[in-house]
Amino acid sequence: MNIELFVLILFAGAILAGLLGSLTGLGGGAVIIPLLTMGFGVDMRFAVGSALVTSIATSSGAAAAYIREGITNTRIGMFLEIATTIGAVIGALVAIYMPTNIIALIFGFILIFSAYMSVRKKDRNINYSKPGDIWGVKMKLNSSYPTPNGLVEYNVHRVAGGSSLMVFAGMISGILGIGSGSLKVLAMDIVMKIPFKVSTTTSNFMIGVTAAASAVIYLQRGYIDPGLAMPIVPGVLLGAFLGSKILVKAKVGKLRLIFSIVIIFLAIQMIYKGLTGKI
């Protein structure tokens, strides 16, 4: 394969990765890592390094649009980033010494969980205005977001529990390079009782900082290849921009289902290769 075709395929894959990451909050690494490892035989650690750069680009591309729309809760994002950054540094340090087949196995199972989180049915009858955690009041985390029927106010619950889960999410991000958006959304949506749309967009806002903390470790170890990252970053930014426009204006249930089927297929392939030691 010549270099021009290689760059073109990476660029196209990056657009898809950015679109998926923006729509679901997963981060673009869910597509980039399988593409690099199974498609081109790239070493798992170099693939993770490139995915971290991808996650930063995804977050940067989508976050600005969501903030302009008034959906993202930046106060919650900046607060929870403290926990995810600590976890991300720990995860990156662990991943450097972890066998690549173990990383592939963890990656596969996390992808399956992420796919489930993306398409699971949400409880539409939740009373988000119900009084929440006292820390949500003290730290001014409670807010509102726009809907077709006007602003919906919500209160934050179990701040400490959500922060604890964010440390684990950061560790997974550092090990796998996928932003761990599904775990962030789980912490905010299920534990902290934040509306799903706010959870997803705030996850996108946080992914960049989490990935950047891990990327420093990978860069120091020489696992971020500029030749791989160069065609990926602009493609991911384009995909993230398109995804942010779709999420704000369209019903994306069917798109999420399609993406989830693709992700599960990739996850099964990664688990198989991890078990057989072919990665």
Q: Read off the pLDDT band of 105 (50, 70, 90).
A: very high
The helix or strand, by DSSP H or E, that contains position 231, with its residue range, turns out to be helix 226-249
- Kindly tell me if the per-residue pLDDT of 234 is higher than 60: yes
Q: What is the mean pLDDT of residues 121-139?
A: 76
Mean of per-residue pLDDT scores for the chain: 82
What is the per-residue pLDDT for 173? 83
Model pLDDT, residue 156:
92
Instruction: Give the residue among 26, 247, 19 at the shortest CA–CA distance from 145.
Output: 247
pLDDT digits (tens, 9 = 90+) for 80-103: 999 999 999 999 999 888 898 999
The reported pLDDT for the residue numbered 230 is: 86
Out of 22-31, 158-167, 230-239, the most confident range is 158-167
Sign of torsion over alpha carbons 63, 69, 71, 75: positive
Reply yes or no on whether the pLDDT at 253 is more than 70. Answer: no
- CA–CA distances in Å: residue 122 to residues 179, 194, 230, 253: 22, 12, 38, 11
Could you tell me the pTM of the whole model? 0.79
Count of helix runs (H) and strand runs (E) in the chain: 12, 2
Q: Which residue has the tokens 């796919």?
A: 115
